Amino acid sequence: MPGPHGRLTGRALDATGALSALTGNDLAMTVTSHDVLAIGNAIVDVIATAEDDFLVSHAIQKGGMTLIDEDRAEKLYAVMGPGQVISGGSAANTIAGIASLGGKGAFIGKVRNDQLGQLYRHDLTATGVIFRSEDATSGPMTARCLIAVTPDGQRSMSTYLGACQGLSTLDIEADLVRASRIVYLEGYLWDPPAAKDAFRKASQIAHSTGSQVALTLSDSFCVDRWRDEFLGLIRNGMVDIVFANEHELKSLYQTGDIDTAIAALRGEDVIGVVTRSEHGALAVTRSETVAVPAFPVERVVDTTGAGDLFAAGFLFGLATGRDHRDALRLGAMAASEIISHIGARPQASLSDMARQSGLL
């Protein structure tokens, strides 16, 4: 399969269509059974509408994600209005979107063996996603993200990571990684120290079989915390595909000018995918920049998960052999569905939408 700029990544199709990978001097056969394996925070989302003054009175950073402890999580939950309780997490939202598109997906993440953990596992596996990570039997409870959605559709997240922080190299199933065309890593999970080693292990296994590794930068505050390390992942070959919105990209390259940030991304040896809200999206490589417009949407209700579902469409397109333009169009379509309602999981069949739009 071609790499970011058409180069071979050590994987090829044999006469039967099976994927083979060169490991050292030996030819090792790898049959891929998953389009994408996502590794990320397993978080139960609590989503409620709120006015801007609610954010101010409770010191919530608008439009971003702030890590909180268990005590603050309980206090915020007590003052939030009525809301929806659904399984979430950035990478898990992406893999659920891939399943809705008709793709084959798997997920690695950590939950506790508690009520929310059971809810989380049921919700995700009900979409058809493979999720067989073992539950934590002690320690922090299953993570939750308290999401306040303001009238302009912006989501402001206060996240208690809980059991998520227990993800380690022991949770990385080598056979699951080898069986996936693309491994997708969630930038938010770079906060817990043990997860960094888990990421590195997954990337090494994936590259040993010629699969590609993608990273989402998650949000600009996450980039502020880990800028140098994220740039290191890009430049040392650990990742092949990078997802960012304009704010995250400008933060990554410490510039207030988006054109300067895009030019810097163009100099990296990756596929850079940049979402630009109503202005559409770009796929940036050293050899070309492909742009597509935003997919039409009647009304923006909630932007929660927009980037996650855009990644779902793009990764599905890439994993199923589509070019960058068609992959971007699938991403834009998936994002348009998710922002038309409350919640970060599709409420309509994305595969049906794609067929009706001539994308499948």
pLDDT above 70 (res 140): yes
Q: How confident is the model at residue 172 (pLDDT cuts 50, 70, 90)?
A: very high
* Whole-number Å distance between alpha carbons of 273 and 246: 10
> How does pLDDT run across 10-52, given as a tens digit for each residue?
333 333 333 333 333 333 334 568 999 999 999 998 889 999 9
- DSSP H helical ranges for the chain: 52-57, 70-79, 90-100, 115-125, 174-178, 193-208, 220-235, 246-252, 258-266, 306-319, 324-338, 350-356
Give the pLDDT score at 65: 82
Residue 135 CB-density burial (10 A; 0-12 exposed, 13-18 middle, 19+ buried):
middle
Question: Which tens digit of pLDDT belongs to each residue from 305-340?
Answer: 899 999 999 999 999 999 999 999 999 999 999 999
- Count of H-run helices and E-run strands, the chain: 12, 16
Nearest to 179 by CA among 16, 11, 314, 331: 11
Band (107; pLDDT cuts 50, 70, 90): very high
* Domain map (residue ranges) of the chain: 29-356
Work out the average pLDDT over 177-194: 93
- pTM attached to this predicted model: 0.84
pLDDT band at 291 (very low <50, low <70, confident <90, very high): very high
DSSP 133-164: PPPB-SSSPPEEEEEEE-TTS-EEEEEE-GGG
pLDDT digits (tens, 9 = 90+) for 108-120: 999 999 988 999 9
> Residue 75, SS3?
helix
Please tell me the distance from the alpha carbon of residue 239 to that of residue 10, in angstroms, as a whole number.
Answer: 15
Q: What is the pLDDT of residue 32?
A: 61
**Mean pLDDT over all residues of the chain?**
89
Residue 66, beta-bridge partner list: 158
pLDDT at 8 over 70: no
CATH class of 29-356: alpha beta
Residue, of 6 and 284, whose pLDDT is higher? 284
**Selected residue with higher pLDDT from 304 and 272:** 272
